[in-house]
Structures are given as C-alpha cells and as structure tokens.
Amino acid sequence: MTLQERYAASLMNTFGPPRLALVRGDGAHVWDEDGREYIDFFGGIAVNALGHGHPALVDAVTTQLRTLGHVSNFFTTPPQVELAERLLALLPLSPGDAGRVFFSNSGTEANEAALKVTRRTGRTRLVAMEGAFHGRTLGALALTAKEAYRTPFEPLPGEVVWVPYGDAGALRDAVDGTTAAVVVEPIQGEAGVVVPPEGFLAAAREITTKHGALLWFDEVQTGVGRTGDWFAHAASGVPPDLVTLAKGLGGGIPIGATIAHGESATLLQPGNHGTTFGGNPVACAAALAVLDAIEREGLLEAAVVRGRQLTEVLLAEQEVTDVEGRGLLLGAQLADETAAQVVTRAQERGFLLNNTGPGRLRFAPPLTIAEADIAALGEAWADVVTIEDTP
C-alpha cells in the first residue's frame, strides 16, 4: 500500500486526498517519497517562515526540549515570559499601555481567546468581513464568512454580521453601541490575498472608537514578517485593541498568540480561559528563534525584495492579469479559471503552488527563499501558467 492509500484508510477525510507524500525538506525545497524535489512556494500555508530545517530553529527546539519540555500553565518558564515581552515590544503601544499576551496552539485558538475577550466587554454583537477566514473551531467558525464551512455546524455562537471587506460606509452602518468588536484581517489570506483600500483600517479604528467597540486584527496569516513588516497593520499606523497570531510565529512548531492592548488586556481573569499546551516552552523557544532569525537575517527586507522579484516573474505572462498583496504574501489573478490546472502542472515541473479560487493563486513561500528559486519558477512560468483549451 502507498502512503496515500494508508492515509485514506487511517485518517478522517476532512481535506480530500493529499497532493503528495513529503518526506524531507531543506530551506525552500522539499522531497517526496520517490525522491522528487520541489520548490515550496506555499510554505505550509504561510507557516514555514524560515523554510525547512533552519538550524537556528532546530537548535532552539532541541535545546529547549532537552532542558525543559512542558510544565502546564500552573508554572511559567523563561521562554514564555521572554516571548510575551518580545511580542509586546514589537507592537507599538500607546504610552502607559502595557498590553498582555495569551498563548495557545493554533490560529483558531488564538481567535477563540480573542472572542472570549470580546464577550467580557458585556456586549455580544460582532462585525466581521465578507470573505473572512478565522478558523474552524466553533467560535472562530462563527466569524468565518464562507457558508460551506459554516452551514453543517449551525447553530454557531451568534450575533455576527458581515460587511463587504474594505467598505467603510457599510462598516459605519453596521457598528453601534451594542457592538463588542470588529474583526478584520489587514490583508485577507484565504480569500486569495486581498488588500483593503487605503484608509480602511483607519476608518475601522475611528468607527470602533466612536462606539466603544474593540478593533481586532486577525494577523494569523499576515503577521510575523510575512508582508515585510512585523505585522501587516503596521503599514497603516492604526493601533488595534486585539491582535491574533499563529502560523509563521513558530516557523512550523504549533503556537498561537492573542495580544490585547489597553482595557482589553485585563478583561480575561483567572478561570476565564486556559489551555494545557499554550505557552509551552518548546513552542515559545521556537517562536523566539523565528523572531531572532527574522532580525538577524534581515528577513523583513528580504520579504519585500523577494516579493518584488516574484511579482515580476508572475506578471511576465499575460495569463496573469494582476498581482495583489505585500511582501511574500501574494495573490495572482489569472485571466481564466485555470488555477487548479496550473497548480497540477507546476507540481509536475517541481513547484508547489496553491490555488484559493478557480482563477486565483496564492504565494506564501519561506521568507528565506533564494533569488535563484524564484528565478527557477520564472524560467518555467510560461509553460506552467499557459493552459491550452482541451476539447
């Protein structure tokens, strides 16, 4: 039996069959069970910020595991406290605003914690965005826009309304004195990398402040350097009340973080929330190694430079009509609904790509991806993206 067949016989079919069985990785390259090599332009869905097998990450994890592997939240550890302090220092806080962090193990859990913070305001109404993806647990799913994900699990925690992403007028109409929070991805990831119009995040701040609602940025996909800034919302200069992180933070080791500012930082009190693994020292040591490497290796700048290179490569073929996004989170619009075929053809030629819709590709490679890897895609691109009509 192949690994794929064994997978089909032993795992729940929640995602459809896996595209490949991968056995090894190095930087932006991975190998399948037959020894075929691929350049990874997907990064485990925007997770592998440092690529595969980065020595600093491997060292940090193995050293911490050897030193102290898990203690539960009855105790604390140096990596947990250090990581919370580092994250708070990376977010510009207002004077006197200390901020607080809650650690969990995934993006959806980071959002569950934020959702519980919003409930502690005493209000329950939430405003989210059309096209939004916030996760699969029931609270985060309640905020996720896609009907197909939501409907089988209804009733979900209620009182959520959605407004068109980027529409400040609609947001203004939807928020009032009963709104607990507005949740926004600063760039929508699962929707295919969609950037809101200039000024939208500032409008969201103004509207939420006016009505005493919290402004929550879900940076699970966009955070930790992916867009060339530590956080995608940094470019707007808009201070949120809540920020949620996961994906790139651990560079492949599961960790989520919910960061709260101002009054929202103390809304959760003892007994209100918890998780056995959250703040685990190995995961926190991994995240510290990721943050160190981003700084030491200039990966914020690299994300911008390599993102520009990748944009040029993609736009060189007229089948690509537009490239949206920032840094190394890019969405490419195709002239035709051929994205699935492009992904298959790319894989046959040794490139892992991702499609988020019939005519949309998403790129989220490691921030460490080499110029030569992007150039290699450039050489193959015309062949990969040109899908002839089949009779």
Interaction site with ligand PLP (CB under 6 A): 45, 106-108, 111, 133-135, 185, 189-190, 218, 220-221, 246
Which residue, 128 or 377, is less far from ligand PLP as judged by CB?
128
Shortest distance, position 353 Cβ to ligand PLP, whole Å: 17
Q: Is residue 115 within 8 Å of 104, Cβ to Cβ? A: no
Q: Are strands 351-352 and 179-184 parallel, antiparallel or unpaired?
A: unpaired
Distance separating the N- and C-terminal Cα atoms of the chain: 35
Which residue, 187 or 303, is less far from ligand PLP as judged by CB?
187
Which residue, 135 or 327, is less far from ligand PLP as judged by CB?
135
Using CA of residue 152, residue 158, residue 161, residue 162, what is the dihedral sign?
A: negative
Query: Which residues are registered as beta bridge partners of 242?
Result: 216, 260
Shortest distance, position 63 Cβ to ligand PLP, whole Å: 25
- What is the spatial distance between Cα 301 and Cα 297, in angstroms, rounded to a whole number? 9
Shortest distance, position 355 Cβ to ligand PLP, whole Å: 15
Neighbouring C-beta atoms of residue 249, cutoff 10 Å: 29
Shortest distance, position 85 Cβ to ligand PLP, whole Å: 23
Cβ contacts of residue 64 below 8 Å, gap of 6+? 79, 281, 282, 285, 286
Q: Is residue 248 within 8 Å of 42, Cβ to Cβ? A: no
Amino acid at 110: A
Shortest distance, position 247 Cβ to ligand PLP, whole Å: 6
Q: Is residue 248 within 8 Å of 215, Cβ to Cβ? A: no
Please tell me what DSSP assigns to residue 188: B
Which residue is closest to ligand PLP by CB? 107
| Residues acting as catalytic residues | 133, 218, 247
Place of tokens 């101002």: 262
